[in-house]
Structure 1
Amino acid sequence: MSGARKPVEPTGKGAAKQTVTIHFAGFNRAWAAWIGDRLERRGLRVVHLRWESPADVPLVDLLNDLKLAEGRILIVVSDWYFQLGPRTHEEWNEALREVVGPDPARFAAVSVTTAAVPAAAAVLAPVGLTNMGAEEAERRLLDRLDLPYEPLAEPAAGGRRGPRFPASMPDVWGAVPRRNTRFTGREPLFNDAYNLLLNSEPGTGVLTLHGMSGVGKTQFAAEYAHRFGSEYDVVWWVNAESRVTYRRQLAELAPKLGLQTGQEYGERLRAVRDSLRRGEPYSRWLLILDGADEPDQIWDMVPSGPGHVIITSRNPEWSEHNSRLLEVPVYARDESVAFIRRRAPRLTEPEAEQLAEALEHLPLLLDQTAGWLNDSDMSVAEYIDLLDEGVDSHVVKVSADFPLAFQTAWSILLNKLRDTVPESVDLLRLCTFFAPGFIPVRLLRDVPSDELPEQLVRLFNDPLLWNRAINQLRTYSVVRLESHEIAGDEPASSGESLYLHRMVHQIVHKDMPDTDRQEFVDVVRRALAAADPRRPTEPDLWQGYAEIAPHLKHADVLGSRDPQVQRLVFNCLRYMYVSGEYRSGIKLAERALKAWRELLGASHPRIWELTYHYTNLLRGGGDYVRSEALSRAAVDHLREERGHQDLEHLRAAAGLAGDLRGLGRYDEAQHISQWVLGSYRELLGEQDSRTLSALNNVAVSLRLLGWYREALDVDKQAMEARRQFLRARHPYTIHSEISYAIDLRLLGRYAEAESIQSKNVHESRLALGRDHPRTLKGEYNLALCRYRMGERDRRRDRGDGPQEPAALFASVLERGERVLGETHPDTLVFATAQSCYAREHGDIDLARELSEAIVARYEVLHADGHPFLAGARANHALILRNVGEREHSHALVEQALAEMAEAVGESHPWTLGVALNASALRNLMGDVEGAAELSGQTVTRAIDWLGRTHPLTLSTRVAHAADLRGLRDRRQAEKVEQEALSDLDATLGSKHSHTVSARARNRPYWDFEPQST
C-alpha cells in the first residue's frame, strides 16, 4: 500500500550486496560517514552522494535525477539539506509531493536536526537520531531500513576504528570557534583537504590553507573541525599569530591529555608535543594553527605524529616546512550568490549576482555588506553606485591583499555604524591598538575613569551601552564573539571574547583621526601596564605575560615615556628570558633599543637596564658575539659614569664574563669573574645571593681552564654556603651540587662523584621534575660517573627512571632535544656523550650521524679556533678511524690538536686528550717516531698538570708504552707499561675496564666533553 516500507534490496543485475545510497548535505558529512560505516559493517554496499542544488536547475529535476541512484535512497534530513540553493519551503513542498509521493518506499530518511523543515518532508518518514546515544540511534537507523539489529563486536586492538558517533564530541575539544550557521559552499575544497589528510603518511599530515586576507581561511578551518571532528579523539584550536601565544595555547592541551607536568608551560608544551608524536593517549588528533603567517616563528614546533595539522596562513612558504598547500580562493559565483541570499533574504538572485561581482566575491566583504544591506532601505543598485563614486576616498590602501572595492565598502559600513551607535566606532578603533585576533577587552574596563578620554568614559561605565556597541559590531560581522577558554579572558560580553579580523584591524587603524589615535593608544598602554603581573620569574604568572606580550607592538609601548609602561617592557623581556622565548625576546629588545635610544637618548639609565635584558636573551640563544659587544659597551659606559663598584656595572661585568666563556676566551672571563666576586664580597658580604652566584661563575671559569682542583674548592664553598643560606632543594643548591660532582669526576674521583650525583638527581627530580634542565644535567653527569667507574648496563631501573649509563644517555638526549631544542648548548653536550658511547659500543652508524650533526652545529655556533669545535672534530676523527677512513681521520685529529693547543694551551687537559688520540693515529699511519715523540711530551705535561695517577695521565702513559714498543725500545716500554698498570690497579682497581683493557694492550683513547659555560 502507499507509504509502506520495503526492505533494502539489491538493484541492478548481478549486484552482490544490498545497496544503500546515502544522500546528504556536505554540512552533514559526519552523519553520512557514521551511517555508512554502521551499514558497511553489516555487509551492505554503501554509496555516498553529496547533495548539490544549483539554483539554475529546477528542484523537481534534481530529485528525479536522484531516483537514478542505486538501491534504496537514504536521505539525511537537516535544515542544511533544505537550505542549499537556497530553496524556499514552498519549492521543497511542491517537489517532494511530485517526486517522492508516488513512490515513498524507494526513499528512507533519518533526521539529524531539531530545526523546522518543509512540511512535505513528512512523506520521507524520517526517524530522528538526535538527543540519544549511539546505540539507540543505530537501532533506529536499522529499523528504518527494515534491517535486524544486532550489536557489533568492538574492533580488535589495532584494528580499523569507525567514525565517532556525530552527536558525541571528541574526548578533547578546545577553543574551536562556534559553527557558522551561514557557512556556504567550498565542497570541492573540503574534499581536497579531507583526502590530503586522510591519505597522508604518519608524521606528514600537515596541510596549510593559504590565501589572501578576508577569503575565509579561518571560517573554512572552523567548519572543517565541526564537519570532521567526530573522526578525531582530540580537536584543538591554537592562535598561531605569534610564537609566544602559540606556545602557551598548545601547552594548555597538556592537562586535557592527562599529562602529568608542572605548571611551567614550557614543560607542558614539551609534554604535549611528545604525546602527540607518540600518539599516546590519543592517536586520532586534529590540531588547527590559525593565522600562522610567519612560518619561521613556529615551524620547528609544529607537532608530528599520527594525527593531522591544519594551518591557516597568508604565507605559501609553509611548503618549505613539510606542509602540503591548499589555496582558499574567493567564492565562485554561485557560492557568492547563495551566501548573499542567505545573509540578505530580501535581495533577489539578480541583485545578489550584481553585488557579488561588485565586491569581487570576497567572503568577508560579502558578509559585512550583505548583513547591513538586509537591514537597510538602500537598493543594491544605489550601493553599487556609491562604490563606483568612491565615497570617503581618503581611505588609505593598506595592503595589496585588499581589493579596491573593500576600502569604499568599509567607509560606507563605518558611516552606518557611526549613525546608529557612534560608541561602537570608538570601541572598534580602540581595539586596533591590540593585536588582531582575540582582544582582551576586559583590560580596558579596568582603566580608572579619570584616565580615560571623555568620549570613552560613558562607554566604559555604562554596561548597556558597552554591550550595545559590541552587539552592533557583531551584527555586521565587524567583530565576532567566541568562546576562548585558553586565553583565560574574562567575559567581553555575555561570557564571550572579542575577535577582530586582521583585515578589518588594519583598515580601521589607518582610517583614524590623529587626535583619537594618541588618546586611544595611551588608554591601551595603561591597560596593559595595569595588567602586568609584576613577577616575571614566577612560572605561575607566565600566562599573564603571554597574554600581554602579543599586544606590545600594536600598543606602541616603546613610544611611551610612562615609567610603568617601560617597566612592563622590562618584565616582558625577563619573562621571555626565563621561559626560553629567546627569539621573541630578542626581537622585542632590538626594537626597544632602537626606539628608546631615539626617545630617551643613548646614555639614559633605562638603556643600560635594557641592555642587560637584551644580552641575557642573546646569551641564552647562544649568540655570544653580539652579546659580548653589547656587554662590553655597557661595562665601559657604566664604569666611566658610575665607577667600578656600582652594582649595575658589576652585573654587566658578570654578563660580559659569561659572553667570554661562550666565546672560548676563558682567561679573560676568569679575570673578570674573580674581580666581580671580590667586589660583591666587599659590597654585599659573603651571604648575598649575588655573591654566591659570582662564586659559582668563578668555578665555571676555572673548570673551563682545566684547573679542576681549584674549581672543586670554589664549588665546594658555593655548595656549602647555598645549603646553609638557601635550602637543600633550592635550584641554586642543586646546581652547585652538580658542579661539585662534575669537578670530582673530572679529577678521576668517580666513586665520590657518583655518590653525590646520585643523591642530587633524586633531589632534583623531586624538586624540579624529571625534564627540568638541571635534572637533565644531573642525570647526564650521573651517567658519566657510572660510565667512568666501569659500569655498563649493570643497574636496573629503580622506579624513578633509568639507572645504567646506556639508558641514561639515551633518555637525557631525547628529553634534552625535546625540552631545550636540538641546538641548545646543553643538548650538544648530551649528544656528544651519546655519540661517544655509541661509538665504543658498536653502533657506529648512530655515532657518526650524531657526530656529524654536532660538528656542523658547532661550526654554525662558533668561529674557527673555538675549543668546542676542535674537540668535536677530535671526537669525529675517532669515528672515521673506526670505519676505516684513516687518512681523513689522521688529518682531522692533527687539525684538532693544533686548534686546541692554540685555543687553550698545550698543557690543558683537553689538549692532552686530543694529543693522546693524535699519537694513536700517527702510530696507525706508520709515523712511529712522531707518535712516540708526541705521546712522550703528553705524558710529561699530563703529570705536571694533573698528576701521575689521574686517569688521563695513566692513559697517556699506557699509550707511550705502546709507542716505545713500536720503536723497538722494549726495555723502556716494559718499564713504562708496568708502572702504569700498577698505578691503574691502585687507582681504578684491577677489574676496572680501563685496567683490563690496558693489560690486554688495547690502545687507550680520550673523548672530548664540552662543559657548560
Structure 2
Amino acid sequence: MAGKDSPGGNPRVTISFAGFNRAWAAWIGDRLERFGWQVVFQRWNPPVEVPLEVALRDLLLVEGRILVVLSDWYFKLGPRTDAEWNAALRSVVAPNSHRFAAVSVAAQPMPTAAAAFGGTTELWGIGAREAERRLMNVLGPGPEVSSSGTLGGRAAPRYPHDQPHVWGGVPRRNIRFTGREDTLQTVYDTLQRAESGAGVATLLGMSGVGKTQIAAEYVHRFGSEYDMVWWVPADQRGTLRQRLAELAPALGLTTGPEYGERLRAVGDALRRGAPYSRWLVVLDGADDPGPIADLVPSGPGHVIITSQNREWAEHNAALHEVPVYDRDESVAFIRRRAPRIGHAEADALAEALGDLPLALDQTAGWLSDSSMSVAEYIDLLGSGSDLEVGLRVAADFPMTYYTAFSILLNRLRETVPEAVELLRLCAFFAPGAIPVQLVRDIPAANLPEELSGLMDDSLRWNAAISKLVQYSVIRWDTPDEERDPESSGTIHVHRMVHQTVRDGMSKDDQELYSRAVRRGLSAANPGRPSDTRRWSRFAKIVPHLDASGALASRNADMHRLIFHCLSYLYLAGEYTTGIQLAERAEQTWHSVFGEDDPLVWDLASQKATLLRATGAYRETEAIDRKVIERLGVHRGPRDLTVLRAEEGLGADLSGQARYTESLEISQRVFDTYQELVGEHDPRTLNARHNLAASLRLLGRYAAALEADRHNLQARRELHRPRHTLSLSSEDAYGLDLRLLGRYAEALSVMEQSVETHRLVMGPDNPQTLTAELNLAMCVLRSGDRATANARLGDLLERAERVLGDTSPLTLRIATCCSFVQRAHGQLDQSRDLGERTMAHYRTTLGDQHPFTIGTTMNHALVLRAAGERQHSLLLHEECLTEMRRALGPDHSWSLGVALNTSAGRNLEGDLEGAAELTADTSRRAAAMLGRKHPLYLSVQVALATDLRGLRRRQEADKVEEQALSGLVATLGSQHVQTVSARSRVRPLWDFEPLLS
C-alpha cells in the first residue's frame, strides 16, 4: 500500500487538510511518522479563482500517497458548489484512486462528493487508540515502527478530542469561522520562532473586525500543542488580575484564598514553566496597555493580545494588523451563515456592509431566518440616511453600523421583544464582560415594565439570551462553578453593539434603563472595602460605574458606592485606576453639584489619598489645604471630614520632609478626635497611627513604639488580628522595634506578620510589600546578608511590576536593595540602581530633601568601595552639612551621615578631624538614642579606631571594651556587628528612606 519511497527510504505521504482541522492533521502526521512514514503537510486553501480540477491535479505532483483529512470545511472552503466538486473528483481522484486515501474527522455526514475517494474512514467520536488502529488500516505501517513515546525528543501532539490539562474561559469554537488562514499561520509562526519570554503577539484592528474570533480560532486550531490555555478579558486591570489569579488552583498551586497572593504565584509558575512550559494566555480586548502591561505573563509560553491600540508595540509585542474580510472571505462567510443566499447576492451584501465581519455575521444570521431578500435589505440600508446618525467604525467604512444594526433589532423586536429590552439594559453596563449576577440581581421594582418578571423566569430568560446569541448580538459564557462558585455566567457585549444600542434610545429610555442599572449596582455594594474578602465583588462593579451614569447620580447610596469603590482601589493598590475614577467623578460632580458642594470636597480628599500613594506630595498638599478651607466654611474646623483632610495634610508635609509641621498637625488631629469621638474610635486610632509615623520620621523611635504598641492592641480588640488596619499597626510596631535596634524582637514580629499579610491581602498588595521590606531589613540587621539580598531583589522586581519603578515604595525598596548589593560586593549593580534612585529623588523632591541627601550618601559609600575615596569624602562632607541643615545635628540620619563622614576623614589621613566628629556624634547619639542602641555602639567602635590612630591607646581600649560589652548585651556575641567590631572593622551606616 505504500507509495513511492522517499530518498531516505521511508514511504512518503502528503496530508492535505483544511486549516480548521489542523489539530487532526498534526496528530495524524505524528502517528504516521511513528509508524515509519515520511510525512509532508499541505494546507488545502486553493484561491477561489483557481478551478477545483487544477487544484486537485496539483496535489498529484507530490511524491507518494495523499491522505485527505475530510470535513465539511474541506469542501466548503471557497465555497464551491456540489456540482463543481463532483466534476473535479470524477476527473482527477477517480482515475488516481491508488494515490488517494481519506479519513473523516467531522461529526456530520460527508457530502456525496466524498464517495469519489473510494470510502472514507471515520475518526471522529472515538478514542485515540481506536483512531490509531483505523489510521493504520488506511495506510498500513511503514517499515520502521517507533516504540518511543516521542520522536526526536519533541512533545507529541495531543489527540484532538483531548483538551489541554488546564483550559479556562475559552469561547466555544465558531463553526462558521471563515478565512484568516494567512493571519493564523503568521501568528503561529511568530510565536513559534520567539525566544522564551518574548512570545507575545497582538492582533490589531478596528472594532468589529473579528480579532476575538481569530484569537478563539487560534486556540482551537493550535490548542493541542499546549498543556494550558487560559482566556482572560483584559479591558479592566481589576478583572484581568482576578482572572489570572484564578489560574492558581487550576495549576495546583498552593496559595491562600486572596487573589493577590494567587496572582503572584501564577506569575512565578508561568515564568518558570512549572508545572507547564507549553502554555497560552489570551488577553482579549486589551485596548489600553498602560494599566495592564505589567500583568502580561512572561516565560516559555505564548501570549496573544487583541487590541485596537498600537501602543502594544512599545511593550515588546509583535503587531499583526487584522483588516476587514477580503471579498472572497466575505462571500464564503455569508454563504456559510445563510445557505439560502447565492454567490451574487452574498457579493452584493458584502459590498453594502463594507466586508466588516461583525456586521456580516449579525445581518446574515437574521437574513437566514427571514423571508426578506438581500436586494430588499440593501434597499433598506440605502434608505437609512434619515435615521439617527450612529457609530461609524472607521473613516473608510461606507455606512453607519447603526443603520445595519437597527434593521436587526427590528427583526428581534418582532420575534422576542424581551431580548431587545434585555440588550438595552445591558447597554448601561460597560461593554465587554457583564457578570450575569449583576443583571439578574437588579431589584424588580427598579426594572422597566418591559422586563418585569424576566429575571425570575428561567424560561423567558433563556429564550431572550438564546436569541441574542443566535444572532451574534452577544456572546455568552456559562458559569464556571469550580472557578467562581458565585458566578452565574457572563454576557459579553461588543463595543460597537453597546454604543449603537445606546445611540438608538430616546433620552427618556436612556434614563429609565440607566437608573435601573444604577440601582442594581447600588444594591450590589459589598460595603466595608477594608474587608479583603469582598474585593472580588468590588472588582466586578468598578468597570460599570461610568457606563451606568453612576457618576452623575444625585442618589446618596450611589455616592456611598463610589466612595467605597475608591477606598477599595486604594487598599488594593490599584492607584492609577482609582485616580482615574476620582478624576472622572470630580469633573462630573463639579457640573452636577457645583464646585462648592461639600460632596465635591469629600471626593477631592479621597483623590488626594490616592495621589499621595504615588508620591505627588505637593499636589496633594494643595488639594488638602483647599479641602480644609472649603469644608471648614461649611462644617466648621472640628468636623470629622475636615479632620480627615488635616490628617492627609500631615502626610503631605511628611512626604516633603516638613516633619515638625507634620507632627504638630498629627498631634492636634489626634487630640481633637479623642475629644470628639473617644479614644477607641477607629478614627482616633488612625490619628494615633499617623502621630507615631510623624514621631518616627523625627527619629523619636521610643515614642513611636509606645504609640504603635497601644494602637496595635486597640485595633486587634476593635477589629480583629487579621484586619488590614491591625496588620498595618503590626508592621509599624515591628519597624519601631527594628529602628530601636531590637532586631530579634522585630524579626519575630515580622515573620508572622508577613505570612498573615500574604494570606489576607495577597503578596503583591502594597501593604504586603511594605511588610516584606521590613522583614528583609530585619533579616539584614540580624546578620543574614545573603538572604536579605535575595529577598530584596525579588521584592524590587515585584514592586516595579505592580507599582512601577517610580512609586515611593518601589524607590524605598530600591534604595535598600542598592546598599545591600554594595555590602555584598555587587558594586556595578549597586551603583546603577543607586544612581537611578538618587536622580529620581533629586528631580521630584529637590536637592534639600533628606531622601536625596541620604541616597547621595549611599552613593558616596559605593564610590569609596570602588576606590574613588576623595570624591566620596567630598560628597560625605556635603551630605553632612545638608542633612544637619534639613533635620538638625541630633537626628539619627544626621548621626549616621556623621559616622560615615568620620570614616572618610580617617581614611584620607585627617585623624584629628575624624576623632573630633566621632566624639561629637557619640555624645549626640547617646542623648538621642541611648547607650544601648546599635548606632551609638557603632559610633563608639569608630571612636576607638580614631583614638587609636591618635595614639591614645588606653582611652581607645576603654571605649572599645565598653562598645563590645554593649554589642554583646544588645545583639549577642555572635552577631555579625559584634564579630566585626571585635575584628576592628570600622562600621558604616546605610540610609533607608521611611514613609509616613
TM-score (norm: length of structure 2): 0.91
Shift of 1:441: 5.2
Question: In structure 2, what is the equivalent of residue 353 of structure 1?
Answer: 347
Q: Among 874, 878, 894, which residue is 2:861 paired with?
A: 878
- Structure 1: segments with no counterpart, 5+ residues: 1-5, 794-803
8 Å Cα contact 2:391/2:400 also seen in 1: no
Following superposition of structure 1 onto structure 2, how do residues 14-25 of structure 1 map, counting pairs within 5 Å?
14-25=7-18
- Residues 142, 924 of structure 1: alpha-carbon distance in 2 compared, 3 angstrom cutoff: farther
Paired residue secondary structure (2:167): strand
The amino acid of 2:890's aligned partner reads S
Q: Verify the 8 A CA contact 1:89 1:117 in the aligned structure 2.
A: no
Q: Does the alignment pair 1:235 with 2:229?
A: yes
Q: Which amino acid letter does the alignment assign opposite residue 582 of structure 1?
A: Y
Moved more, 71-80 or 708-717: 708-717
Q: Within 2, Cα distance between the matches of 1:297 and 1:762?
A: 28
Instruction: Tell me if 1:842 matches 2:819.
Output: no
1:516-574 Cα deviation digits (max 9, x unpaired): 22222112211222222233333332222222211111111111112222222122222
Q: 1:758, CA displacement in angstroms? A: 5.5
Alpha carbons 1:582, 1:621 under 8 Å: kept: yes
> Partner residue of 1:104?
97
Contact 1:957 1:976 in 2 (8 A): no
Q: How far apart are the structure 2 equivalents of 1:760 and 1:450?
A: 47
Equivalent-residue separation in structure 2 for 1:925 and 1:404 (angstroms): 80
Q: CA deviation at 1:512?
A: 2.3
Inter-partner Cα distance in structure 2 for 1:187 and 1:759: 55
How far has the Cα of 1:49 moved from its partner? 0.3
Contact 1:738 1:778 (C-alpha < 8 Å) held by counterparts: yes
1:109–1:893 Cα change, 3 Å:
farther
Cα 1:725–1:410 shift into 2, 3 Å: closer
Take 1:501 and 1:790, find their aligned partners in 2: how far apart are those partners? Answer: 57
Change (3 A) 1:639 1:513: closer
Partner of 1:66: 59
Query: Is contact 2:861–2:872 with CA below 8 Å preserved after alignment?
Result: yes
Matches within 5 A, 1:675-754: 675-722=668-715, 732-754=725-747
**Pairing partner for 1:523 from 495, 516, 527:** 516
Q: Which residue is 1:796 aligned to?
A: none
Corresponding residue to 2:433 among 431, 434, 438:
438
In structure 1, the partner of 2:963 is 984
Return the alpha-carbon distance in structure 2 between the equivalents of residues 71 and 649 of structure 1. Answer: 86
Which of residues 326, 331, 337 in structure 2 aligns to 1:337? 331
- Alignment CA distance shift 1:755-1:239 (3 Å): closer
Partner of residue 854, structure 1:
837
Q: 1:996 to 1:327 in 2, by over 3 A?
A: same
Query: 1:539 matched to which residue of 2?
Result: 532
Aligned residue for 2:386, secondary structure, equals: coil
1:304 to 298, 306, 311: 298
Query: Partners of 2:12 and 2:908 in 1: how far apart?
Result: 78
Q: Equivalents in 1 of 2:197, 2:570: separation in Å?
A: 31
Equivalence for 1:832:
815
Deviates more, 1:722-731 or 1:170-179: 722-731
Task: Report the CA distance shift for 1:758/1:147 in structure 2 as closer, same or farther (over 3 A).
Answer: closer
CA distance in 2, matches of 1:922, 1:260: 54
Q: Distance in 2 between matches of 1:459 and 1:791?
A: 65
Q: CA RMSD in A?
A: 3.3
Question: Partner of 1:405: helix, strand, or coil?
Answer: coil
Match of 1:938 in 2: 921
| Residue of structure 1 in register with 2:563 after alignment | 570
Alpha-carbon distance in structure 1 between the residues aligned to 2:882 and 2:34: 70
Q: Structure 2: how far apart are the matches of 1:879 and 1:792?
A: 17
Distance change >3 Å, CA 622–CA 398, structure 1 → 2: farther
CA distance 1:776–1:327, shift in 2 (3 Å): closer
Structure 2 match to 1:259:
253
| Paired letter, 1:880 | L
Residue segments in structure 2 that go unaligned for 5+ positions in a row: none
Q: Equivalences for 1:363-442 in 2 at 5 Å?
A: 363-398=357-392, 400=394, 403-407=397-401, 408-440=403-435
Comparing 954-963 with 623-632, greater Cα deviation is found at 954-963
Is contact 1:23-1:50 (8 Å) kept? yes
Q: Deviations over 1:611-647 (max 9, x none)?
A: 3432332233333333332233333344444344433
The answer as to whether partners of 1:480 and 1:498 remain within 8 angstroms in 2 is: yes
2-side partners of 1:816 and 1:825: how far apart?
A: 10
Give the letter for the 2:866 counterpart: V
Residue 115 of structure 1 deviates from its aligned partner by 0.9
Other-structure match for 1:85? 78
Instruction: Tell me whether 766-775 or 449-458 shows the greater mean CA deviation.
Output: 766-775
The amino acid across from 2:680 in the alignment is: Q
How many Å separate the matches in 2 of 1:472 and 1:839?
66
Say if 1:393 and 1:779 are closer, same or farther in 2 by CA, change over 3 A. closer
Are residues 428 and 807 of structure 1, via their aligned partners in 2, closer, same or farther at CA, if it must alter by over 3 Å?
A: closer
Q: Which residue of 1 aligns with 2:990?
A: 1007
Question: Which amino acid is 2:694 matched to?
Answer: S
Tell me if the contact between 1:391 and 1:411 (Cα under 8 Å) persists in the aligned partners: no
Q: Partner of 2:167 in structure 1? A: 173
Post-superposition offset of 1:32: 1.2
CA contact (8 A) 2:473 2:497 kept: yes
Tell me which amino acid in the other structure corresponds to 1:979: K
- 2:265 aligns with 271
SS at match of 1:1003: coil
| Counterparts in 2 of 1:576 and 1:996: CA distance versus 1, 3 Å | closer
Q: Partners in 2 of 1:766 and 1:500 — Cα distance?
A: 35
Task: Provide the rounded CA distance (Å) in 2 between the counterparts of 1:170 and 1:372.
Answer: 35
Deviation at 1:179, TM superposition (A): 0.9
Moved more, 328-337 or 19-28: 328-337
What is residue 52 of structure 1 aligned with on the other side?
Answer: 45
Conservation of the 8 A alpha-carbon contact between 1:278 and 1:305? yes
Native 8 Å contact 1:981 1:995 kept in 2: no
Per mean C-alpha deviation after superposition, the further-off stretch among 53-62 and 497-506 is 53-62
Higher relative contact order (CA 8 A, sep 6+): 2
Distance 1:54 1:496, change over 3 A: farther
* 1:141 counterpart = 2:135: yes
- How far is 1:415 from its partner? 4.2
Q: CA offset at residue 379 of structure 1?
A: 4.0
Greater mean deviation of Cα atoms: 248-257 or 825-834: 825-834
Task: Give 1:154's aligned residue.
Answer: 149
**Equivalent residue letter for 2:850:** P
Q: Give yes or no for contact 2:392–2:399 (8 Å, CA) kept in 1.
A: no
My pick for the range that moved more, 373-382 or 768-777, is 768-777
Moved more, 159-168 or 95-104: 95-104
Percent of aligned pairs with the same amino acid: 54
Q: Indicate if the aligned counterparts of 1:984 and 1:995 stay in contact, CA closer than 8 A.
A: no
Q: Please list the CA deviations of residues 915-949 of structure 1 after superposition, one character each: whole Å capped at 9, or x if unmatched.
A: 22233334545666765554454344334423455
For 1:655 and 1:590, the matched residues in 2 are separated by: 18
Larger mean CA deviation between 392-401 and 323-332 belongs to 392-401
Contact 1:212 1:401 in 2 (8 A): no
Measured after TM superposition, the shift of residue 217 of structure 1 is 0.6
Inter-partner Cα distance in structure 2 for 1:786 and 1:231? 44
Aligned residue identity for 1:985: L
Q: Partner amino acid for 1:970?
A: R
Query: Which stretch of structure 1 is more off in the superposition, 284-293 or 348-357?
Result: 348-357
- The aligned residue for residue 113 of structure 1 is 106
Residue 347 (structure 1) shift: 2.7
Among candidates 313, 323, 343, match of residue 317 of structure 2 = 323
Residue type at the aligned position of 2:573: G
CA distance in 1, matches of 2:486, 2:396: 33
Aligned AA (1:897): L
Q: CA deviation at 1:150?
A: 5.9
Change (3 A) 1:542 1:762: closer
